[in-house]
Amino acid sequence: MAPAGSVGAGAEAGLPEYAGHYRLQSRLGSGGMGVVHLARSTSGMRVAVKVVHAEYARDPEFRGRFRQEVAAARRVSGAFTAPVVDADPEAERPWMATLFIPGPTLAQQVKANGPLDAEQLRRLMAGLAEALRDIHRAGVVHRDLKPSNVLLAEDGPKVIDFGISRPKDSELRTETGKLIGTPPFMAPEQFRRPREVGPAADLFALGSVLVHAATGRGPFDSDSPYVVAYQVVHDEPDVTGLPDSLVPLVLRCLAKEPEDRPTPDELMRELRSSAASLDTQPFIPAQRIGVLDERTDTAAPTDSGTESPDGAPPGSPADGAPPAPRRRPSRRTLVVTASAVAVLAGGVLTPLARPDDAPAPRTSATPTASAPAASGGWRGKPLAGGTGVPVCGTGGGRLFCARAGQVVALDPADGRVVWRRAFPGARWDGPPVVSGGLLHLVAAGTGHLEALDPASGRTRWRQALPGDSGVAYAAGSLLLTRADGTVTGVDGASGRTLWHRRLPGGVRPEVSAFAGGGTAYATRVAGDGGESRVAALDPATGEVRWDAALKGTLSPAGAGDGAVVFLAADPVYGDTGAVVRRDASGTATRTALPAPRQGAQAAVHGDVVYLLGSDGALDAIDSRAGRRLWHLETAVSYGSAPVTDGRYVYLSAGDGRLLAVGARDGRLVGQTRARPGPSGRGAPATLPAPLLGDEHGGGQRVFGTAPDGTVFAEDTRDPASW
C-alpha cells in the first residue's frame, strides 16, 4: 500500500511505494522540494527518505544541484549529522535516505516547552561548535543553520537538513535567483556578498540559534524579511534574556565581519575555560511529536494538514508530554520522532572544494600484486578509480571485493589480483557472497542478481529479483523475503526456485543465518514490539524446525551448538538493553546490560557475545551464565560490526584503522594505521566488518578495507606488531 498523498507544496496523489530498496511507510513532512517519509530498508532498519516532487525531477538544472547536494551531504555524514545511508539522484524521482535518529528539533522543543536553561544552552553551544568543526573539516559550509535544522538527540545536537534551496520560499534572492539561507539566521555577508560566503557564516548562525534557544526569538526580529535583512547588516543584535556568562561568546559569533568571529575550536576552548565541567547527562528532552501505529506502519492523523513555517511535519504533541525515554509505550502505539525532517529541503549545503564526481575509469585486467606489510600481511588498492569503502567476501579460497562498477578476485595469501570485472554504473547492495559454488552480487537500485564463476568472473546466470525482495544467504541457498511474509528458497548454483513458505503475521521477516550453521532464522516483531516470533527454517526445503514466541523486540546475533543468541532492543529508541539466549531445549536466558547501547552490533563465539555500541563501548557478555565479563571504551564512534576468532575481537574504525582486542580480557592489543578517504570527504556512514580468513602456516589472516580504497590483510598471530 502506497503512502497517503501529499498536501501543500508540490502535492501529488500518486507517491511511489519504494525509493530504491526502501519501502516508504508514512509521510512525515513536506518541504518546498520534496516529501519526507519514514521508510524501512530491506533488513528492517528505519530511515528517513526525501523523495523529490515530480515537477522538480523534470528540471535538469535542479537534478544537477541535487547531485551536488547528495555528494556534499555524504561528505559530512558522521557523529554530528544524520548520516546519509543511500541516494539515487538519477532516479525518475530523485531521493536521498538518512539514518532515522530520535529527537525533536530545537524549534519544536522551544515552541513546546519554552526557552532552555543556562546549562542546556551551554551544552547546546558546545555541541553545535563540535558539529560545525567537523562539517567545516569536511570542506562544507552549511549556510542554513537554524532551530528547525538542529536535532536534539540523546547524545547531543545533530545538524540536519542539508537540503537544496527552495526558490519559492521568499522574494529575497542572490544574483543567481535563489535564496540561500533563512533571513533571521543569515550572516551579513550572505546578503552583501553571497558568492563569498565561508565557514564564518555558520558561526553567525550559531549565535542567532543560541539567542532563539534562550528567548524564543532571534537577535534580529521582524515580520518582514527585508527589515530583518537590514537589521542583520546594520543593527546591533538584541541578546536580552541570554545568561550573562554566554553573552560575550554569542556577541563574538554575531560580529558583522567574518574575520571577527571565533572558529569552532576557539569557541570550544572558551567554553571549557569558562566552566569547570559540562553536564554529560543526555540532552534530549522527553517531548516527542506524532504517533506511528506499528501494526500498519502508517502515521496517525495530526491536528493540521498544512505545513509548518519551518518546513517541519504538521501537528503537535498529543495528550501532553509523552513518557520519559525508555519507558515502555502502550501496546497500540509507538512514538515517531522529528529526525525525519533531516532530509527535508531547506538550506543549501555548499562544498568548499568541488567534489570529484568523475566516473571510475575502466581498469586493466592484468593481475597485479599488493605490497607486503611490515606485520606479515599485505595491502593494496585493487579497485582503482571510484569512491567508497570496498566491500569484500570470502569463499572457495579467494577474497572477492567490490566497489561501484567493479569486482575483483584476490589471492588471500598475497593480495594478487586473480581477475577483474567491470560493471559500468553498477552499485552493489552488500558484499559479494559465495553461495552454491558461485559468486553472488546484488545490484542496488535495479535489484538484479549477478551469479559469477568465482574462478574466472564470467556471468553464469542473471536474475531480476522482485522489487520488494530482501536477500539473505544460508547453506548454499538464497532466501528472498517479501512484504507479505513470504520466504522463498532459491538454489545458489542454478537460480532455480526450491520452495515457498508464507509465515503467519503478514509482515516481512528478518532472515538471518550464520557461518557454519545449516539453519536460517526468520524473525517477525509484533506491532507493539512486545513479542518476537522466530521460525528456524531449513534453507534447502523450507521446513520449519521450530517456531517460538519470545518476549521483546529481538534480532538474531549468532548461533551454535543448538542455541541462538538475540539482541533485545527498546521498541521506541532501538537501544539494545539485553542479550537473549535460546538453547536447544527452548529455554530462554535474558542478560540485561548495565546500560543500553545505541546502534549495537554483535559477534558471537560459543556462549560469549561481543557487543559494540555506536559510541565505541565494547562489552563481552556470557549469555549462558548471564553476566558481563568485561567492558572496554574503544573511542571508535560508529565502528563496523565486530568479528571474532575466539582469541581477538576485530573491528574497523571510520578512519580505516583495524583494531584487535583481547577476547578474554578486553585489552586493546593492536591497531593498524589510519587510512582515511580523500581530504574533505569525512567518515563513511557505514563500515564493512573485517573478514576472517583460513588458517595459514599455523596462523590466520584478518582482512580489512578502508575509505581510501585500501584492501589489506594482517596476521592474527601478533596484532601488537600491526
Q: How far apart are CA 703 and CA 24, in angstroms?
A: 36
Region of 516 (left: φ > 0; alpha: ψ -120 to 50; beta: rest) is left
Pairing of strands 438-442, 298-299: unpaired
Whole-number Å distance between alpha carbons of 689 and 601: 10
From CA 359, how far away is CA 385, in angstroms rounded? 8
Reduced to 3 states, what is the DSSP secondary structure of residue 486?
A: strand
Nearest to residue 655, comparing CAs of 710, 603, 703? 710
Which grid cell is 500? 515457498
Tell me which residue of 580, 577, 582, 614 sits closest to 599, measured CA to CA: 614
Name the phi and psi angles at 356, rounded to 5: -85, 100
- Amino acid in position 357: D
d(CA 251, CA 270): 13
Q: Residue 314 forms beta bridges with which residues?
A: none
Write the DSSP assignment of 128-158 as a string of letters.
Answer: HHHHHHHHHHTTEE-----GGGEEEETTEEE
3-class DSSP state of 713:
strand
Length of the chain: 722
Q: Locate cell 498536501: which residue?
A: 7
**How far does CA 453 lie from the centroid of its chain?**
33
Question: Of 59, 86, 117, 144, which residue is the catalytic one?
Answer: 144
456 near 396, Cβ under 8 Å?
no
Q: Which three cell numbers stand for residue 219?
A: 537577535
Give 196: exposed, middle or buried? Use CB within 10 Å, 0-12, 13-18, 19+. Answer: exposed
Strand partners, 419: 409
CA 261/CA 208 separation, integer angstroms: 13
- Cα separation of 106 and 242, whole Å? 16
**DSSP labels, 604-634:** EETTEEEEE-TTSEEEEEETTTTEEEEEEE-
Ordered DSSP codes for 367-412 = --PPEEPTTS-EEE--S-S--S--EEEEETTEEEEEETTEEEEE-T
Paired sense of beta strands 391-395 and 398-403, if any: antiparallel
For every residue of 62-111, DSSP letters joined together read: HHHHHHHHHHHHHHH-STTB--EEEEETTSSS-EEEEE-----BHHHHHH
Residue whose C-alpha is closest to residue 626's, from 581, 692, 573, 585? 581
The yes-or-no answer on residue 144 being catalytic is yes
Phi, psi of 266 (to 5 degrees): -65, -40
Catalytic residues, by residue number, are 144
